[in-house]
Amino acid sequence: HKLKTMAYSAGLVLAIAVVIVGSTVVDSSRNGMNVLFFAIDDLRPELGCYGSKQALSPHIDALAKKSMLFERAYCQVAVCSPSRTSLLTGRRPDTNHVWTISPEEYWRMFTNATTIPQYFKENGYISIGMGKVFHPGAPNGFDDSKYSWSPEGLPYYHSPIEKDYGPGNKTSLWWAFEGIEDNQLPDGQICDNAITVLQNLRKNKTQGEDRPFFLAVGFHKPHVPQYAPKKYFDMYPPVDKILLPENPDIPKEMPDIAYETWSVLREFDNTKMYFEGKNCTESPDKAYSKECQFPDNAAREFRRAYYAAMTYTDYQVGKVLTELEKQGFANDTIIVLWGDHGWQLGEHAEWAKFSNFEDATRVPFLLRFPGLTDGGMRSNALVELIDIFPSLADLTGIPMPPVCPESKEQPLACVEGLSVAPLLKNPSSQIKNASFSQYPRPNVGFSHLPGKCGLMFY
C-alpha cells in the first residue's frame, strides 16, 4: 500500500501535467500513426548505443540514432510474465496480482485491466502480434487472444519450432549452430512472419483499408538457452578475449534475501559439471563460495553466447525495419523497442534475473517518432515500463487512459504510468521522482532463510 501511495502521490499531479504538456508535443495532424512494437526477451542495455565495449548491435544502434533513448528505464519485476503484464496493462504488479509465472496469476482473474493492443484495437487500429509479446501459455491467457488482437491477427503466430529451442531444452546453455540460416531458428521465423504481415498491410492499404496498425513483434533471444547461428558467434573475439564483469564480487553486507541463486543455469548439460555435488543453493555461505561460481573460462563463454544471441536478434530487428521502410511505412510509424527486464552476466556474482539489482531491473527503451526524434535524443529522466501504455496513447492521439484511482473499483482502461511525451520536447526534464521494482521471495533465492517467508521486497 505504501508503494502505491507513493506512486499515486507523485503520479496524480504529474498526470495532469502530462495531458497538458504532452498534447503540445505532437501536431494533431500526426494523430493516427501506426505503431511498431518490438519486445525483446532478457535484453539488458548492453548495446552499442548504450555504450557497451563489446556487444554488437548495429541495427538497434541505427534505430537509436533516430529515436529517444532512455538511459534510466526500469521494469517493475525482473521476470517475464509479471513484467510484461505490467507493461501491457500499464499497471503495477500489486494491482494486477501478478508477481510470478503461474497459470493462477492470469491478471483477468483479478482485475479488469485493458492491454495496449486491446486498447488500440478498440480505438480503430488493426492489432496484430507475434512471438513473445505476452508471456506464452496459460499465465497470460494464451497470448490474451480472446481480447487483445484483431481478427486479422488470428490465429496468433508462434514459430512452430519454438519449444525445441526454448528454456525447456536443457542440453546446452549455449550453442552455435553451423550451416543454418536465420529462419531455421524461431526468431528468424518470427522475423519472416513480420515481413509478410507488413507486405499484407501495404496490400490492404492499396485496396482501401484506412485503419492504422499496431504491430507487436516479440523476439525470444537472448533468453536462455543462448542459441544462434554460428556466424553471430564468429562476430566476436575468441573466448579468452571476452571481458569479464568489472564488479564480480558479492556486495559487502548484502542481505541474503537480495541474492538469487541462479539454480536453473546450473542444470544444463554443459554447466552442471561445475556445480554437481556442491549443494550450491543450500545456504548463503555455499552459494557465495568460489566453488559455486562459474570459472572464468565458462563465464567468458556464457557472456560471449549472450552477446551472440543478442546480435542474432538485432539482425532480425534490422530486417523488419528494412521492410517497414520498403513498404513506405517508416515516416508514419512510431517505433518502440524494449526489453522486459535486464540480465545479470556475473556482476555481483549474479547471473540471470530474479532480483532487484540494477543489472536485473534496468532495461533498454527506445522510442522513435518520425520528424521529432530524427536527430537522436537521450534522456536521463527516470522512466518505467508502465509508462509505455500512456505514452503511445498520447503520441498517437487516441484518448489518454486516466490514472487509476486508489479505490478497488477501477475503469477498464486506466494506468499507473505516465506519458513520456513531454521528454520528447524537453529531454532534460523529469516526469517522476522515483521508479519502483519489486521481487517476491522465496519464489527464487534461498528457500530456508529463518523468518523470511512470503516477502515482497522493493
Q: Give the catalytic positions in this structure.
A: 80, 135
Find the angle CA(48)-CA(195)-CA(223) to the nearest 5 degrees: 45
* 365 in Cβ contact with 71 (< 8 Å): no
How far is CA 32 from its chain centroid?
25
β-strand partners of 378: 69
Phi, then psi, of 2 in degrees rounded to 5:
-60, -45
Alpha carbons 192 and 194: distance in angstroms, whole number: 5
Show the 3-state SS of 77-97: CCCHHHHHHHHHHCCCHHHHC
- Helix axis angle for 388-396 and 80-89, nearest 10°, is 30
Closest by CA position to 88, among listed 47, 116, 64:
116
Alpha carbons 300 and 40: distance in angstroms, whole number: 23
* 359 in Cβ contact with 345 (< 8 Å): yes
Per DSSP, the chain holds a count of helices (H) and strands (E) of 13, 14
- How does DSSP classify residue 444? S
Alpha carbons 185 and 144: distance in angstroms, whole number: 24
Alpha carbons 182 and 351: distance in angstroms, whole number: 27
* 22 in Cβ contact with 421 (< 8 Å): yes
Alpha carbons 38 and 340: distance in angstroms, whole number: 10
Phi, then psi, of 297 in degrees rounded to 5:
-65, -40
Q: Is the peptide bond before 222 cis (omega within 30 degrees of 0)?
A: yes
- How does DSSP classify residue 229? E
Locate 367 and state its grid cell. 522510442
